[in-house]
Chains A and B, each alone.
Chain A
C-alpha cells in the first residue's frame, strides 16, 4: 500500500489487482451488463418482429416455445397497411405531431419571457411568482385534468386542437431551467445592451436566447414529450376520431380488435419512433440540465 502510494500516486484501484482476477471481473460485469441490456431490449424487439408477422401468430407462435416465437416465419407489412389504411392511424399521428409542435412553440413563447422577467427584473413578489409558476406547473396536469375537462367542455374547447394544446404549454421545469440558464448570463452584457439603447424584448431575443440554446432545447423536449405521451387529457376531451391523438388511437385498437396484436404493436412502435429519434439525437440536452445542473453550477 505505502509502496504504491509513494511510487505511483495516481493509479486507479483496479490496476493494483493481479491481472487475471481483473480480467475475470471485467468479463463477469460485461456479461451482467449484456444480460440486463438484452432483457430491456427484448420486449421491444419482440414487438417490432410481432408487428411484421400476421397478427394471429404473435400468440400462436408461443407454444411450443422456440426461436420462431420471436422471429416470424411469414414476414408481412399488412399490419402497417391496415394501420395507415382503414384504421386511419396516419391522421392520429399527424394530430399528435401538430399538438406537440404547437405546444412547444406556445410553451416557449410563454416560458422564455417569464423566465427572463424573473431573472433580470426587480419587482416585489418576484420569488413568490417564480414559486407559483414552477410549483403550479410541476404538478402534472393529469391531477387536475378531470375538473379541467369539465371546464373546457363548458368553454366549448372539447374536440378542438386548441383544447388539446393549451394544458401542455405550461411546464414548471422548463421555466425553472430557463431561469437557471439566464442567471448564468453575465449581467454586464445586459447593461452594455441597455447602454446601446436596446429594449428588454430585444435583449431577451438577441442576447439571452442565443446564449441559452441548451435550456431551450431541453424545455422544448420536456413540453414535446409531455404532450406526445399525453393520454388522460385527450381521452377526456376528444371524442371525435378526426381530432384524436395517436396514444388514444392505439388504446382503441387494444379494445376493438382484441386479437390483432400485430397492428397494436405496429401502432405502439410508430408512436415510439418520434421520441426515440428526438431523445437519441438530443440526449445530452435532456439529461444535463435537470439532475446534474447543481453539480456544475
Chain B
C-alpha cells in the first residue's frame, strides 16, 4: 500500500506499479479493496472519452436548446437579433391549436402503431416457432424487409401507393375502388405507419423469436399434460414468460417511432392538412422552413423530455433483467 503510485509519473507506469503493489499484498484486503485513489484515476481515464462525448453530443446541445427557448427572434434575416422572452415560446406553442394537434397526433400515433407492431410481430413469431415445413424460409422472408433502411421503405411505398401504383392496381383488379393513401388526410398517417411497419415487424420479430426460444420447454409440456389447448397455453405460459422481452421491444419501438421523420419529410411533408405532422417533423419545419428556431427549439425540448421519460422506463426494464 505504501507504494501507492506517486503523483507526476506517467499514467501507464502508475497503473503498472499500483497493480504490482496490490499484487504484493493481495491478502491484506479486509473487505475494502486496495487503491481507491488508483481506481478513481483509472476511472477518469477510461470514462473520459465517453463522458466527453455525452457532454459534447448530448448535454451541451440540450442545454443550448433549452437556453434558446427563453429567447425570441426579432427582425428578419441577418438583421434578426435574439431578445429575452421568458416563457413566451412555451406559452405560444402550448396555446397553438396546431402544435397541440401535433403533440396529440404524435402520442396517438405511438399509442396505436407500437402495440400493433409488437402484437403482429409476436403473432408472427409464435407462428414461425412452430414446427412447420419451410419455417426457416418464411422467417427469412419476413426478415428481409428489415434490412431495408427507412428511406428505402419510404421510396418503395411512396411508389407502390401512388394513385396509379400497383396497390391500387390490385384493388381495381379485385373490383374495389382505388384509394388515395398519402394524398388523403384520412389515410396518410396510416400509410406512414405501413412504411414503418413493413421494416419494423420483422425487426422486432427477431428479438421475440429469441425470447420464445428461451422459454422453458418443460412449461409447455406441463401445460399440455394439464390438458391446456393452444390458446390457453399461449395466454398462461407464453405471454407471462415473454413479459419482459415484450415490454422491452414495446418501449424500444416507441423510442424509435417517436422520432419518426423520414417518410413524413420525404412523402407527405406533414400534410395533407397537417395529418402527418408529428413532433420531430414539426420541430424541423419550424426551424428550417418557417425560420422560427426558438419555437423549433421549444418543440425539440418538449420532444426530448418525453423521450427521456420513455428511455428512463427502458433503462429500468434493462436493469430489472440483471
Contact = CB atoms under 8 A, between A and B. Distances in A.
Which of A117, A180, A228 has most chain B Cβ within 10 Å? Answer: A117
Which of A13, A150, A201, A268 has most chain B Cβ within 10 Å? Answer: A13
B86 interface: no
A38 B134 CA distance: 12
B23 A1 contact: no
B182 interface: no
Interface stretch (A73-81, A83-91, A166-174): A166-174
Contact of A29 (B15, B130, B143, B320): B130
Interface in A120-166: 121-123, 126, 129, 131-144, 146-148, 150-151, 166
Contacts of B162: 59
Interface in A247-269: 247, 250-251, 254, 261, 264-265, 267-269
A1 B227 CA distance: 7
B293 interface: yes
A109 interface: yes
Nearest to B37: A123
Nearest to A180: B322
Contacts of B33: 122
A32 B126 CA distance: 12
A47 interface: yes
Contacts of A20: none
Given A134-B315, A197-B20, A228 B149 contact: yes
Interface residues of B, number: 127
Contact of B166 (A13, A38, A46, A118): A46
A44 to B, nearest CB: 5
Contacts, number: 329
B308 A292 contact: no
A175 B50 contact: yes
A288 B1 CA distance: 43
B206 A194 contact: no
A65 B176 CA distance: 14
A219 interface: no
Given A58-B159, A283-B206, A13 B223 contact: yes
B85 interface: no
Given A43-B198, A59-B164, A201-B15, A9 B225 contact: yes
Contacts of A297: 321-322
A250 B296 contact: no
Which of A12, A26, A32, A146 has most chain B Cβ within 10 Å? Answer: A146
A113 B46 contact: yes
Contact of A291 (B68, B165, B210, B312): B210
A190 to B, nearest CB: 10
B54 A26 contact: no
A244 to B, nearest CB: 13
A1 B149 CA distance: 51
A60 to B, nearest CB: 9
Interface in A227-244: 228-229, 231-232, 235
B189 interface: no
Interface in B39-59: 39-40, 42-43, 45-47, 49-51, 53-54, 56-59
A46 B23 CA distance: 65
A132 B12 contact: no
Interface residues of A, number: 113
A268 B156 contact: yes
Contact of A37 (B39, B142, B303): B142
Contact of A30 (B56, B133, B154): B133
12 contacts: A43-B198, A44-B144, A121-B39, A132-B54, A137-B54, A137-B58, A140-B256, A150-B293, A151-B64, A229-B149, A251-B266, A292-B213
Interface of B: 12, 15-16, 19-20, 22-23, 26, 33, 36, 39-40, 42-43, 45-47, 49-51, 53-54, 56-62, 64-65, 68, 124, 127-128, 130, 132-135, 137-152, 154-160, 162, 164-166, 168-170, 172-173, 198, 201-202, 206-211, 213-215, 220-221, 223-225, 227-230, 233, 244-245, 248-249, 252, 255-256, 258-259, 261-262, 265-266, 280, 283-284, 287, 293, 296-297, 300, 303-304, 307-308, 311-312, 314-315, 318, 320-322
Given A46-B166, A264-B155, 18 more contacts: A9-B225, A30-B133, A41-B144, A44-B156, A113-B50, A121-B40, A122-B33, A133-B51, A137-B54, A139-B307, A142-B259, A143-B258, A148-B61, A170-B54, A267-B155, A268-B156, A272-B152, A279-B147
